[in-house]
Amino acid sequence: MLQQAGADSDAPEVQQWGQRLLAVTMEPEDDWVGFLTLLTQDAGLSGDRRAAAVQARGIVHGQADRYELALADFDRALELRPDYEDALGGRGVTFRLMERYEDALADFTRVIDLDPNVARAFAHRGKTYRLMERYEDALADLTRAIDLDPNSAWAIAGRGETYRLMKRYEDALADFTRAIDLDPNYAWAIIHRGGTYWRMGRYEEALADLTRAVELDPEDVRAIGGRGLTYRAMGRHEEALADFTHAIDLDPEEDWLRYELAVTYLQLGDHDNAQAALRHAIELGTQELSAKGATVRRLSNLALYHLAAGEVERSNGLWAQAFALPDATAYIRGTALDDLRDLKSALPDDATIDGCLRFMMDRFTTD
């Protein structure tokens, strides 16, 4: 990492430090922050080269989810070198991880203003637009990124995910397949292509992709959980339960896994285990909402969990909060309605789900 930072900024001192540190140790638990702090204190480094070291430390903090410390380092790097594209990009990514999307957009736009041919800046801005449900803007940026770098599997897969969210499934499949052709072990693209197949009802193809993703990383909860959904759609409930249970063992804090486990139990008529799993899902979803703040996604998910538990009044209250947020319509028209339809498909005789689905469709499927 240090050697790359030095190469990016034409800083041989940084490269030399990287070589020295690598010669001392290669263990992953080593204190890279401490090493980089020593480097930033080297009186022999110029402002630009010191900026490279501070920026590298920001990356380390960001990778460890220490976002405030990462922001401080990126800010310091930009004080030393105001047009430092890598620091702007790193800060933009950090803002996005913190769900500060407008700040992220500003940084990626600044990079593009400095150099309109930086493909990765368009790709990152496109991803940010996608998270904001601004899908047309996301498509424009991701297509520009691909035009600038036709072999960027990350940008191509990102556009595929945007198409998937827009329900343009054939376009999504084409992009995911193109990305996988470029990088056959690209697990994220394989998982999301599997999810696209699942949404299209092409379960055997979904199962093949998701199993391949699990083979690539046996601890990837997205792949395991997605395969569980596929097994359930195929009526293979015991295999679905096994996948959801294994995914929960790997990541006990994922509320959606508890919810999907509960729905599977409900389909099997095991209401005791279903209610226990739903209580866990509600507890975890409530904790996330309290810790990270209200978003349409968090409120909608929690409303869904309460609805599955038969707590209609509480569910309606959460939906009302979600409706009141800015830009709620795009998410609810897409993801939230799909989640409700999936719940209805799993529990076709539940009249409370019918009522909620009718209300949502009346409100959000007409202009």
How much is the pLDDT for 334? 80
Contact between residue 228 and residue 213 where contact means Cβ atoms under 8 Å apart? no
3-state secondary structure of 48: helix
Residues 6+ apart with CB under 8 A from 247: 221, 224, 225, 228, 254, 257
Residues 6+ apart with CB under 8 A from 23: none
For residues 166 and 139, what is the distance between their CA atoms, to the nearest angstrom?
A: 10
DSSP code of 347?
S
pLDDT averaged over 10-residue windows placed end to end, the chain, 367 residues: 44 47 42 62 66 89 91 95 95 95 97 96 97 94 98 97 96 98 98 98 98 98 98 97 98 97 96 97 97 93 95 92 86 86 88 84 66
Residues 6+ apart with CB under 8 A from 168: none
Contact between residue 121 and residue 86 where contact means Cβ atoms under 8 Å apart? no
How much is the pLDDT for 27? 43
How much is the pLDDT for 232? 97
How much is the pLDDT for 121? 97
**pTM (two decimals):** 0.84
Residues 6+ apart with CB under 8 A from 303: 315, 316, 318, 319, 322
3-state secondary structure of 148: helix
Give the amino acid at 353. Answer: I
How much is the pLDDT for 42? 58
How much is the pLDDT for 333? 81
Burial class of residue 190 in the structure, from the number of CB atoms within 10 Å of its CB (0-12 exposed, 13-18 middle, 19+ buried): buried
Provide the strand spans (E) within the chain.
none
* Token pair for 290: 């309290």
Task: Return the sign of the alpha-carbon dihedral for residues 353, 355, 356, 362.
Answer: positive
Contact between residue 122 and residue 148 where contact means Cβ atoms under 8 Å apart? yes
For residues 245 and 257, what is the distance between their CA atoms, to the nearest angstrom?
A: 8
Q: At what angle do helices 153-165 and 119-131 cross, to 10 degrees?
A: 20
Contact between residue 237 and residue 267 where contact means Cβ atoms under 8 Å apart? yes
How much is the pLDDT for 8? 45
